[in-house]
Every structure is written in structure tokens, then in C-alpha cells.
Amino acid sequence: MIVAPLVVLAATIIHPPHAAENGVEYYHAAHDHATAFYASHTLFFLGAVLLLPATIGLARLLQNSRPKAAFWGGVLSLMGFIGWGALDGMDFMTYVAGSGSGLDTNTMQKFVDDALASSAIVIPVSVVFFLLIIGLCVIALALHRVGIIPIWLALLMPIGILGVISFLEYPPLLIGSALLLVASFGTVGIRQLRALDAVAPGRDGRTQADPV
């Protein structure tokens, strides 16, 4: 919950601006800034991998008091991460098209344009990805209802994820979206660490939460 959003934040800082739906910008970001493009999208991918156990951890916090929200929020979110992985696959494909030596630039540009214009690719990937947003909304509302974090902070989770995907061509908004993830996921993570410290065994064998 703490490390994952920091990895996403690092990705947004070094990410070369481009619009994901604009084939020309997308291709030239990979072609003209190949190292930064690869590094940032690899960090996005690693951030998604780390957000998986973070989201499972959020669902576990709800399993006793809000079991239905924990189940559906967790299931929808995990399904949505498959869509995130598919989007990262397109990023890596574009990296190869843009940075590969010996590849014809015009041919690779048209290939990227055609891939982004294909509804057979874009629609299923987008629909599955948006399950992540829905799942995090379910979890956010449940976190608020059980009193773990306030609603405004909980909703920064789906808002931050949506911003990271939507603002690839606007660096300040992209970085700001990652900071929303740091604030929301990170707050819960820090509270969990403090809760663990509060029940850690002392030298006499009792936990700090045990009565004297």
C-alpha cells in the first residue's frame, strides 16, 4: 500500500508525454525517448503488480464487516488489473516498434495507428480496465462506512488510477494523479503499520494493547 503508489509516482515523473489514443504522439514518444518510455512504462507495470496485493489487503480489511463489498470490490478490481496488463502490453509493443533498429519508421507508425484505431482491441481492453475503477469505488465506499478512512480520501484511489491512465500527455496532472494514490493507499498502509506496532509483543511478553 505504501511502495506501490510510490513506484507509480516514479513512473509518472520520468514518463515522456503522449496521448495514448494519438498514434503519432504515442509512436514518437517511444521513438524519440525510447529509454524514458521503456523505464516509465515498466514502472507502471511493476506498480500495477504491487497494487494487486495492496488491493487484496484493502478487501481483507472489509471481509468481516462488509463481506459483500470485500468480495465484489476485490473481484472487480483484480479483473480490472488484467486490463491494465493488456494496456502495458500495448506500451511494450509500441516501445519495440519505436526503438527497434532496422524497422521502417513509416511502417511501424502505421502499425501503431492501426492498433489504436482497432475497436476489436480498444473496446475489450478498456471495458476490462474500467472494472478496476468500479471495484475500487466499491472498496472506497466500504472503507468509509466502516470508519477506516474518510470518503474523500478513499475515493482518491479510483480517481488516481483513472487520472494515471487519462493524463499521459499532461505531466502535472499525471504526477498529481499518482500523488492521489500515494495519499489514499499510503494512508491506509501507514495506519496498518501503526496497528501492527501497537500489538507488537514487548519485552515481558505482553503486547502494547494488553492491559497491565
Q: pLDDT tens track of the chain, all 212 residues?
A: 999 999 999 999 999 999 878 888 888 899 889 999 999 999 999 999 999 999 999 999 999 999 999 999 999 999 999 999 999 999 998 998 888 767 788 888 888 888 888 888 889 999 999 999 999 999 999 999 999 999 999 999 999 999 999 999 999 999 999 999 999 999 999 998 888 766 655 555 554 444 43
Distance of CA 205 to the CA centre of its chain: 40
* pLDDT for position 110: 87
- Report if pTM > 0.95: no
Q: According to the model, what pLDDT value does residue 211 have?
A: 41
User: Can you tell me the distance from the alpha carbon of 80 to that of 123, in angstroms, rounded to the nearest whole number?
Assistant: 13
Q: Which three cell numbers stand for residue 51?
A: 497494487
The residues, ordered by sequence, that sit 6+ positions from 172 with a Cβ below 8 Å of its Cβ are none
Q: Residue 119: how many CA atoms within 13 Å on its side-chain side?
A: 0
From the list 176, 183, 131, 175, the residue with the least C-alpha distance to 157 is 183
- Residue 206, number of CB atoms within 10 A of its CB: 11
CA–CA separation, 29 and 36 (whole Å): 9
Cα gap 36→115, rounded to integer Å: 22
Could you give the C-alpha distances from 139 to 21, 51, 102, 142, in angstroms and in order? 29, 14, 48, 5
Yes or no: say if 50 and 8 are a contact pair by the CB < 8 Å rule. no
The residues that bridge with 207 in the sheet, in sequence order, are 201
What pLDDT shows up at residue 209?
A: 45
